[in-house]
Amino acid sequence: MTPYDDSPVQATSTQPSLIDGFGRAVTYLRVSVTDRCDLRCVYCMAEHMTFLPKAEVLSLEELDRLASTFVDLGVRKLRLTGGEPLVRKGIMTLVERLSRHLRSGALDELTLTTNATQLAQHAADLARLGVARINVSLDTLKPDLFRALTRGGDLAKVLAGIEAAQAAGLRVKINAVALKRDNAGELAELVTWAHRIGCDMTLIETMPLGEIDEDRTDQYLSLQDVRRDFSSFWTLTDLAYATGGPARYVRVEETGGRLGFITPLSHNFCEACNRVRLTCTGTLHTCLGRDDASDLRAVLRGGASDGELRAAIFAAIGAKPQGHDFHIDAARPAVARHMSTTGG
């Protein structure tokens, strides 16, 4: 397949082709399109980040070819991430190209995770191109705390982006990282607000990725404890609902909304992992919590044929580890790379 080929991708079989060494089918690819972001969230990156030079970042054509090859091999869900994907120049061109897989039926879902600061200007086009739902990262409804957590962000822009997305017909899920020192007392309010405006909500434990300017042992909050607290005043009913990601969902009977918990530390989700991550430099990580890496950019830029590219992907998937090594350590992160580099 050549970049920007309009012909539909045909799956090679009716069953997923990417099976790891533990029998898990890989059907979900998260693609980081940039390491850059217009916010500097304290748990995600250092205040003064050094971003990648342009030459190291995959072109839109390269991103399309890689993602499309994964679709050809059985991936049914693509999520675009960053950094902040909507700050990538030409991002809507990439969305438009990848949307051909939705039209052909080769892909079930094309979606993205965003901080929503740029969402108001792109929401209508995302909906037009077949994006049905998005995740918005938002950790607080307090403008001053939002400004502190993001090092200068404007909460009003995020709320306007969410409103625009809903007006365009996009389903919005709110993601919040549980932070013991900052938003722990606000989490129930966040859930109530999200459900009131018609959004699902997911809470995420802080992940030990990359050197930051914070002590993660001070910020770590077990979501088992949060759920126990919620259960003291809400009725939580376990649901079989799943979006293809690692969240375990409940229904909050008092609000009628869904609430997800992502718990890489207090209760990992490795046994059913169906995900791999492609960074904006073409590095494939088959586990968020390991330093494994396969350089697909070198394969691409070395003039690989479609068959050679597929072989490199198969080799990487075959080496996918059984589980991660996440732990909270004040002295060092479990994994050296930043979340903004890996892709959220």
pLDDT of residue 325: 54
Does the pLDDT of residue 167 top 60, yes or no?
yes
Model confidence at 336, pLDDT cuts 50, 70, 90, reads: low
Whether residue 211 lies inside any domain: the answer is yes
pLDDT of residue 21: 87
Element (H, E) at 259: strand 257-262
pLDDT of residue 208: 60
Does the pLDDT of residue 268 top 60, yes or no?
no
Does the pLDDT of residue 173 top 70, yes or no?
yes
Percent of the chain predicted with pLDDT > 70: 83
Q: Which of 8-12, 17-21, 193-197 has the lowest mean pLDDT?
A: 8-12
Please state the length of the chain.
344
Whether residue 11 lies inside any domain: the answer is no
Q: What are phi and psi of 25, to 5 degrees?
A: -80, 130
Mean per-residue pLDDT for 333-343?
52
pTM summary value? 0.86
Range list of β-strands (E), 70-228 = 77-81, 109-114, 133-137, 171-178, 200-205
pLDDT of residue 295: 97
pLDDT of residue 266: 52
Whether residue 163 lies inside any domain: the answer is yes
Residue 271 burial by CB count (10 A; 0-12/13-18/19+): exposed, middle or buried? Answer: exposed
Whether residue 4 lies inside any domain: the answer is no
pLDDT for 275-310, tens place per residue?
899 999 999 998 876 677 899 999 999 999 999 999
pLDDT of residue 203: 97
Contacts of 239 (CB under 8 A, 6+ apart): 249, 250, 251, 258
pLDDT of residue 4: 38
pLDDT of residue 157: 98
Whether residue 8 lies inside any domain: the answer is no
Percent of the chain predicted with pLDDT > 90: 70
Does the pLDDT of residue 272 top 80, yes or no?
no
Does the pLDDT of residue 10 top 60, yes or no?
no
Specify whether the CB–CB gap between 30 and 279 falls below 8 A: no
Whether residue 10 lies inside any domain: the answer is no
Whether residue 193 lies inside any domain: the answer is yes
Amino acid present at 144: D
Residue (of 12, 20, 111, 2) closest to 71 by Cα position: 12
Question: How many angstroms separate the CA atoms of 165 and 138, rounded?
Answer: 15
Mean per-residue pLDDT for 318-327?
69
Query: What's the number of domains the chain is made of?
Result: 1
Whether residue 1 lies inside any domain: the answer is no
Q: Which of 17-31, 138-152, 263-277 has the lowest mean pLDDT?
A: 263-277
How far is residue 268 CA from its own chain's centroid?
17
Q: What mean pLDDT, rounded, does the chain reach?
A: 87
What's the domain range around 288? 28-342
Specify whether the CB–CB gap between 100 and 93 falls below 8 A: no
Does the pLDDT of residue 16 top 60, yes or no?
no
Residue (of 284, 287, 285) closest to 300 by Cα position: 284
Specify whether the CB–CB gap between 278 and 292 falls below 8 A: no
Residue (of 133, 195, 177) closest to 45 by Cα position: 177
The helix/strand/coil state of 268 is coil
Residue 187 sits in a domain whose CATH number is: 3.20.20.70
pLDDT of residue 7: 41
Beta bridge partners, 280, equal none
Q: What's the CA angle centered on 140, arms 44 and 341, to 5 degrees?
A: 15
pLDDT of residue 175: 97
